[in-house]
Amino acid sequence: MKTKILSVMMLIAFISTAQKKNGTVYIEHPSIEIVNQFVKASVAGDRSKMASYLSEDFKAYNGTTDRASDKGMDKEAFLNNQMVYHDNLDYYSIEPFPNSYPDAIEYKKDNPNGTVWVQTWDLIKGVHKTTGVKIDAASHRLYTVNKDDKITMLIYYKNGEVIDEIRSSFSDRKNGTIYNHHDFINTTRKMMYALENKDMDKVYGFYDKDARFVDSSSPEFKSISLEEQKVIDKQIMNTFDIASIDMVGYPDYLHYEMGDAHVVQSWWNINLVRKSDKKTITVPIHYQMYFNKDGKITQETAYYNPKLLE
């Protein structure tokens, strides 16, 4: 027993000595207000006011760069960068990320000048005026504020994919080929007319065994399995007779270069007769079907008005 007590006391002593404070974290601090005012000026496009919050030797760094020799942006380059956002985005805003708030940190060690670090978690929003690309991107920023209440450094972390999309959108680029005759289109027609003739074994033979199905009326476009879809199909067949299925226009097969996707989109009128009262119902429906290279349907999304079936 004595040995156990000594062991516990030694563990407590070890934990206590392993912890050492190195400063203070503030939820309210003058440096946070300085950063907030700087961000407000940035969104407003007030270049002179932005500049007033930055020290002359200010530097901004991309925290995700892979260039070890990156020297960052100086004050003028950074101000130009901030004006690009203001001048090129409609509905531009920077707001705190949901359930987050900024921190001000005063470190004790290696901080003779009393520098305060302010860290923020932000959402940058806007719509690019030329390309229509929507920005709704998370960003993390680390600011340093000196004793003169000037921001001396900014390190920013952000996802650059949306900026890449904006750059790419300034030029035309093909992304594959559209076909109006193709074996995948033939498969789609054969499947739909097998459905018209209630040949369900043939219908399901066109699908991959791991195919997923999405109903446009389902919450969050939740997908279901082939077996789950069979249950729904049976419920519909028990309630309605299929009088006929009419193709509207013609199907398109899109072979996308990006992602090498094989998609057939088609439009149909499914003419039903409700068994209970013989009411005739026409359901316009749009399908998007993804095919694998073996010619099997791997994913199907159906767009229609479910209220027509009530």
CATH number at residue 96: 3.10.450.50
- Judge if 140 and 38 occupy the same domain: yes
| Band (14; pLDDT cuts 50, 70, 90) | low
- How many CB atoms are located within 10 Å of the residue 252 CB? 15
CA torsion 98-102-107-112 (nearest 10°) is 150
Q: At 100, which amino acid appears? A: S
- Judge if 154 and 31 occupy the same domain: yes
Strand partners, 225: 212
Q: At 36, which amino acid appears? A: N
- Judge if 153 and 189 occupy the same domain: no
Lowest pLDDT segment from 126-135, 200-209, 279-288 = 126-135
Residue % of the chain over a pLDDT of 90: 79
| Gap between the Cα atoms of 205 and 193, Å rounded | 13
Domain residues for the domain of 77 are: 20-168
| Gap between the Cα atoms of 25 and 4, Å rounded | 37
| Gap between the Cα atoms of 162 and 174, Å rounded | 19
> Of the residues 168, 198, 216, which one is the last residue of a structural domain?
168
Residue identified by tokens 């707001």 is 95
Kindly give the pairing relationship between strand 207-215 and strand 297-303: parallel
Residue % of the chain over a pLDDT of 70: 94
| Band (16; pLDDT cuts 50, 70, 90) | low
- Judge if 271 and 301 occupy the same domain: yes
pTM over 0.85: no
pLDDT number for residue 162: 77
Please give, one letter per residue, the 3-state secondary structure of 254-299.
Answer: EEECHHHCEEEEEEEEEEEEECCCCCEEEEEEEEEEEECCCCCEEE
> What are 69-92's pLDDT values in tens digits?
788 999 999 999 999 999 999 999
Average pLDDT of the segment spanning 199-205: 98
Answer yes or no: are the C-beta atoms of 254 and 176 closer than 8 Å. Answer: yes
> What are 263-298's pLDDT values in tens digits?
999 999 999 999 999 999 999 999 999 999 999 999
Average pLDDT of the segment spanning 79-106: 95
Structural domain total, the chain: 2
9 in a structural domain: no
- Judge if 159 and 181 occupy the same domain: no
127 in a structural domain: yes
| Gap between the Cα atoms of 163 and 161, Å rounded | 5
Highest mean pLDDT among 2-11, 18-27, 121-130, 171-180: 121-130
Average pLDDT of the segment spanning 99-115: 93
| Band (13; pLDDT cuts 50, 70, 90) | low
> Of the residues 112, 145, 168, which one is the last residue of a structural domain?
168
> Using alpha carbons only, how large is the chain's radius of gyration in Å?
31
- Judge if 131 and 199 occupy the same domain: no
5 in a structural domain: no
More confident residue, 120 or 170: 120
Residue identified by tokens 């992304």 is 175
Does 5 have pLDDT greater than 60? no
Does 9 have pLDDT greater than 80? no
> Of the residues 168, 198, 219, which one is the last residue of a structural domain?
168
Token reading at 153 = 């450094």
By residue count, the chain amounts to: 310
Does 7 have pLDDT greater than 70? no
What is the secondary structure of 80-142 as a DSSP string? HHHHHHHHHEEEEEEEEPTT---EEEEE-TT-TT--EEEEEEEEEEEEETTT--EEEEEEEEE
45 in a structural domain: yes
pLDDT number for residue 18: 63
Does 309 have pLDDT greater than 70? yes
pLDDT number for residue 68: 72
| Gap between the Cα atoms of 212 and 218, Å rounded | 13
| Band (20; pLDDT cuts 50, 70, 90) | confident
Q: What is the mean pLDDT of the chain?
A: 92
Q: How would you label 89-123 residue by residue, b for 16+ Cβ within 10 Å and e otherwise?
A: beebebeeeeeeebebbbeeeeeeeebbbbbbbbb
Q: Which residues contact 35 (CB under 8 A, 6 or more apart)?
A: 102, 118, 120, 143, 145, 151
> What are 149-180's pLDDT values in tens digits?
999 999 999 887 877 787 777 777 789 999 99
Does 15 have pLDDT greater than 60? no
- Judge if 228 and 145 occupy the same domain: no
Strand partners, 121: 140
Average pLDDT of the segment spanning 175-192: 97
Does 1 have pLDDT greater than 80? no
- Judge if 34 and 157 occupy the same domain: yes
| Band (218; pLDDT cuts 50, 70, 90) | confident
Does 207 have pLDDT greater than 90? yes
